[in-house]
């Protein structure tokens, strides 16, 4: 930890002190409540591994948001409740429904309410940015590693969670801040190997042409979604796609082949009119878990995170949690099946949205994709992320993508980092507009979300437009 900054070292000390307090906490029949995404699942797995080693009885539940109905459902019988990767934005609701003395929160989202009323550790209250420097699973790791002898799997999960929350914002898509400290610790334990390579999905598991055509990091017209075109491109570059009738994966490529493929892709992208810099989305820092089996999604950090995320989004968090804790066999097979179903839903929703006339609405400061009746709400977040990653880097507009679920409207928000650096906060925009329209919202500065009554969509967008205009106005006045 010697390379950590003074602020980071203080937080690591706070986490160690927090762990000592948890060591004497009454954990009997504890309930773990975690955010239904990959980071939340990884955070919960870390906590479950620690409590299991401590001989504590516990249960776990995943949630997409916290409301009074849910809190009332867990209020009785009274028991310890541990909120992971969620809770900081719902402090008043939690403390009014539960016994504050029996609540613990480990979260990295923006804090709303009085944090002194519960036992909570949050990087945002210690001079760190929870949106980019450390994830929810990272906070969980820094605490619970102090309560066990072997925390190697916990280290792996903290890296998975950070990648899942798109915190690879450093040079060449690397993890920075406290995340890099966690990575370094993993390297020292021979848990993770860090290298530079393509970041296509399926580096360890899919044929190269399938991996290219399945790219969600950057939409390449003509290649994305068409395996035959990708296959022909590889052949034109003289890259062998099979060895002894077995399809090769990205992990099988030699360094010379990688260089030839990168040059070919850059030329292909340039011929389409994109800037050469666009190809940077295809190449970056890779996190390889040395102890996981070769040729599985568990070996690559981003693939592992995608597996956990698909289980959470498809309502199978228990499956993802089991795999994250180390279960294989039937559970792992089920997780992979769910992941395939999830990727199919993403591809279908994205294709339908981009081809639907009138779904895209652009204003001076906002780019809206209205996916109501088009997008499967379970895949709203990855669809928004894919669209966002494909936008011009100099586009100073906030992306808003929506999807409907029964009487509710789900909203996913992405803010360009250039605007975040100037002071635009996605979490605040989501929270304020949702509150004005009878819903709930929050998240991070770059990626945020909200849930509002379906009938209040126009009220939400009016409030959102107004709040965005106010923030832009404050920027001009500063």
pLDDT greater than 80 at residue 308: yes
43 and 109 share a domain? yes
Closest CA to 210 of 236, 235, 228: 228
Which of 301, 320, 352 terminates a domain? The answer is 352
Which of 352, 378, 396 terminates a domain? The answer is 352
248 and 331 share a domain? yes
412 domain-assigned: yes
Least confident piece of the model among 107-116, 124-133, 222-231: 222-231
Q: Spell 100-129 as b/e; 16+ CB within 10 A means b.
A: eebbbbbbbbbbbeebeebbbbbbbeeebb
pLDDT at 36: 93
Sort strands 103-106 and 81-84 into parallel, antiparallel or unpaired.
Answer: parallel
Closest CA to 292 of 150, 170, 155, 412: 155
pLDDT at 113: 87
pLDDT top residue among 225 and 61? 61
Here the CATH number for the domain that contains residue 439 is 3.10.310.40
331 and 384 share a domain? no
Distance in angstroms (rounded) separating the CA atoms of residues 214 and 343: 9
Here the CATH number for the domain that contains residue 96 is 3.90.1640.30
160 domain-assigned: no
Q: What is the mean pLDDT of residues 321-326?
A: 97
pLDDT greater than 90 at residue 226: no
Distance in angstroms (rounded) separating the CA atoms of residues 305 and 302: 5
pLDDT at 72: 94
pLDDT greater than 70 at residue 219: no
Distance in angstroms (rounded) separating the CA atoms of residues 22 and 14: 12
The single-letter DSSP state of residue 478 is -
Least confident piece of the model among 216-225, 363-372, 414-423: 216-225
307 and 374 share a domain? no
CA 42 remoteness from chain centre: 11
424 domain-assigned: yes
107 and 32 share a domain? yes
pLDDT greater than 90 at residue 281: no
pLDDT greater than 60 at residue 478: no
Sort strands 283-289 and 192-198 into parallel, antiparallel or unpaired.
Answer: antiparallel
Which of 311, 332, 352 terminates a domain? The answer is 352
Q: How many CB atoms lie within 10 A of CB 442?
A: 21
**Report for 101-110, 280-289, 391-400, 467-476: range of highest mean pLDDT:** 101-110
pLDDT top residue among 395 and 318? 318
Write the pLDDT tens digit of every residue in 233-252.
999 999 999 998 899 998 89
Q: What percent of the chain has pLDDT over 90?
A: 64
pLDDT top residue among 417 and 314? 314
Q: What is the mean pLDDT of residues 117-121?
A: 93
Peptide bond into 280 cis (omega under 30): no
204 and 263 share a domain? yes
Number of domains in the chain: 3
Q: What is the mean pLDDT of residues 431-448?
A: 89
446 and 407 share a domain? yes
Write the pLDDT tens digit of every residue in 391-405.
877 788 999 999 998
pLDDT at 276: 64
Distance in angstroms (rounded) separating the CA atoms of residues 67 and 408: 14
pLDDT greater than 80 at residue 342: yes
Write the pLDDT tens digit of every residue in 44-63.
999 999 999 999 899 999 99
Least confident piece of the model among 4-8, 118-122, 270-274, 410-414: 270-274
429 and 399 share a domain? yes
The whole-model pTM stands at 0.85
382 and 440 share a domain? yes
How confident is residue 353, by pLDDT bands cut at 50, 70 and 90?
very high
369 and 465 share a domain? yes
pLDDT at 279: 66
pLDDT greater than 60 at residue 2: no
pLDDT at 394: 77
370 and 320 share a domain? no
Name the residue range of residue 88's domain: 6-152+175-188
Distance in angstroms (rounded) separating the CA atoms of residues 287 and 163: 9
Q: Write out the DSSP string of 162-207.
A: HHHTT---STTS---THHHHHHHHHHHTTSEEEEEEE--TTTTTS-
Q: What is the mean pLDDT of residues 38-43?
A: 97
Q: What is the mean pLDDT of residues 439-446?
A: 86
pLDDT at 386: 84
pLDDT at 322: 97
165 domain-assigned: no
170 domain-assigned: no
393 domain-assigned: yes
pLDDT greater than 60 at residue 1: no
pLDDT at 63: 94
Distance in angstroms (rounded) separating the CA atoms of residues 439 and 413: 15
162 domain-assigned: no
In order of 207, 212, 411, the CA distances from 336 in angstroms are 16, 19, 27
244 domain-assigned: yes
Distance in angstroms (rounded) separating the CA atoms of residues 475 and 478: 5
How confident is residue 442, by pLDDT bands cut at 50, 70 and 90?
confident
Q: What is the mean pLDDT of the chain?
A: 90
pLDDT at 216: 59
Write the pLDDT tens digit of every residue in 171-192.
888 999 999 999 999 999 999 9
pLDDT at 217: 59
How confident is residue 156, by pLDDT bands cut at 50, 70 and 90?
very high
223 and 104 share a domain? no
Q: Write out the DSSP string of 7-41.
A: HHHHHHHHHHHHHHHHHTS--TTEEEEEESSHHHH
Residues 200 and 214: beta-carbon distance below 8 Å: yes
């Amino acid at each position: 930890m010697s390379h950590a900054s003074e602020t980071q070292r203080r937080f690591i000390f706070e986490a160690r002190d927090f762990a000592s307090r948890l060591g004497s906490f009454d954990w009997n029949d504890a309930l773990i409540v975690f955010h239904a995404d990959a980071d939340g699942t990884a955070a919960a797995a870390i906590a479950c591994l620690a409590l299991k080693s401590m001989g504590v009885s516990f249960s776990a539940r995943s949630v997409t948001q916290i409301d009074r109905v849910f809190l009332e459902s867990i209020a009785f019988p009274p028991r310890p409740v541990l909120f992971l990767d969620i809770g900081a934005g719902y402090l008043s609701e939690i403390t009014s429904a539960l016994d504050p003395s029996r609540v613990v929160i480990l979260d990295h989202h923006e804090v709303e309410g009085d944090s002194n009323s519960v036992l909570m550790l949050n990087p945002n209250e210690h001079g760190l940015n929870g949106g980019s420097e450390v994830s929810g699973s990272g906070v969980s790791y820094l605490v619970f590693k102090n309560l066990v002898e072997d925390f190697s799997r916990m280290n792996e999960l903290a890296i998975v969670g950070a990648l899942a929350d798109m915190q690879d914002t450093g040079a060449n898509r690397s993890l920075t801040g406290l995340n890099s400290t966690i990575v370094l610790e993993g390297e020292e334990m021979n848990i993770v190997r860090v290298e530079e390579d393509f970041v296509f999905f399926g580096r360890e598991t899919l044929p190269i042409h399938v991996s290219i055509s399945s790219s969600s990091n950057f939409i390449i017209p003509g290649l994305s979604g068409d395996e035959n075109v990708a296959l022909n491109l590889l052949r034109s570059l003289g890259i062998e796609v099979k060895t002894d009738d077995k399809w090769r994966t990205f992990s099988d490529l030699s360094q010379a082949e990688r260089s030839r493929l990168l040059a070919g892709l850059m030329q292909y992208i340039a011929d389409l009119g994109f800037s050469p810099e666009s190809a940077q989305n295809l190449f970056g820092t890779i996190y390889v878990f040395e102890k996981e089996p070769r040729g599985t999604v568990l070996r690559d950090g981003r693939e592992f995170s995608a597996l956990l995320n698909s289980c959470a989004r498809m309502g199978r968090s228990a499956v993802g949690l089991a795999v994250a804790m180390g279960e294989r066999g039937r559970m792992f097979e089920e997780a992979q099946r769910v992941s395939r179903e999830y990727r199919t839903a993403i591809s279908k929703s994205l294709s339908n949205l981009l081809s639907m006339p009138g779904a895209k609405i652009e204003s001076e400061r906002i780019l809206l994709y209205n996916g109501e009746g088009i997008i499967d709400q379970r895949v709203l977040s990855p669809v928004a992320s894919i669209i966002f990653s494909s936008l011009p880097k100099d586009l100073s507009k906030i992306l808003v993508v929506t999807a409907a679920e029964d009487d509710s409207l789900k909203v996913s928000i992405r803010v360009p980092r250039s605007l975040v650096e100037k002071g635009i906060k996605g979490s605040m925009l989501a929270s304020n507009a949702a509150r004005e329209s009878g819903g709930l919202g929050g998240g991070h500065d770059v990626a945020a979300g909200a849930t509002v009554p379906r009938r209040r969509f126009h009220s939400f967008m009016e409030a959102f437009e107004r709040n965005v205009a106010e923030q832009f106005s404050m920027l001009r006045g500063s």
